[in-house]
Amino acid sequence: MVSEEYRGRRQWSRNKQAVATVLWISFLTAAVATMLFFAVFDPVELLAAFDADLDVGRQGGYAAGFFFFWIIAAGCSATTAWLVLTAPKRDAQHR
């Protein structure tokens, strides 16, 4: 509970909360996924295996992998958050 002095001042709206939480938690998830994935796979070898005509180097590979995971995780948690936030309200009698 926020003290009397600050009541209602520093509260985030539900949407702001949802956006910040989705971005932050998917960021953490992406960081862990990137770590696990690249502990096993070397981006340079991976690109070579696919005969990809890209020369982004290891650092580029790590970055691309991180953002890939971030987008996937953010998409997943954004959809979940959206479905939960917009779920039909329960009837008062079923509460």
Partner 1 sequence: MSTPTNTERPRAAALYESAKKIYPREIKGRFESLSKLATNVLLGLFYFVPWLMWDERQAFLFDLPARKFYLLGLTLWPQDFPYLALLLMIAALSLFFFTALAGRLWCGFACPQTVWTEAFIWMEQLTEGTRSQRMKLDKAPWSWNKLRRKGSKQLLWILFSLWTGFTFVGYFMPIHQLGLDILAFNVAGWTLFWGLFYGFATYGNAGYMREQVCKYMCPYARFQSAMFDKDTLIISYDEARGEPRGGRKRSVDRKLEGLGDCIDCKLCVQVCPTGIDIRDGLQYDCIACAACIDACDSIMDTMDYPRGLIRYTTENALEGRSTHVLRPRMFIYGAVITLLATALFTSMITRTPIILDVIRDRNTLYRELPGDVIENSYTVKVINQSNADRNFRLSVDGVPGLTLDGVAEQFTVVGGDVLSLPVRARTGRDNAYGIMHITFTVSAVDDETVAITEDSRFLGPTP
Footprint on this chain of partner 1 (rule: CB under 8 A): 1-6, 9-10, 12, 17, 20-21, 24-25, 38-40, 42, 57-60, 62-63
Question: What stretch of H or E contains 94?
Answer: none
Q: Smallest gap, in angstroms, from Cβ of residue 93 to partner 1?
A: 30
State the Cα–Cα distance between residues 33 and 40, nearest whole angstrom: 11
Q: Which is nearer to partner 1, 39 or 83 (CB)?
A: 39
Q: Which is nearer to partner 1, 10 or 89 (CB)?
A: 10
Q: Which is nearer to partner 1, 9 or 94 (CB)?
A: 9
How many alpha carbons fall within 13 Å on the CB side of residue 88?
3
Q: Smallest gap, in angstroms, from Cβ of residue 40 to partner 1?
A: 7
How many alpha carbons fall within 13 Å on the CB side of residue 63?
5
Q: Which is nearer to partner 1, 66 or 90 (CB)?
A: 66
Which of 83, 75, 85, 80 lies closest to 30 in space, CA to CA?
75
Structure tokens that stand for 87 in this block: 């779920």
Q: Smallest gap, in angstroms, from Cβ of residue 24 to partner 1?
A: 5
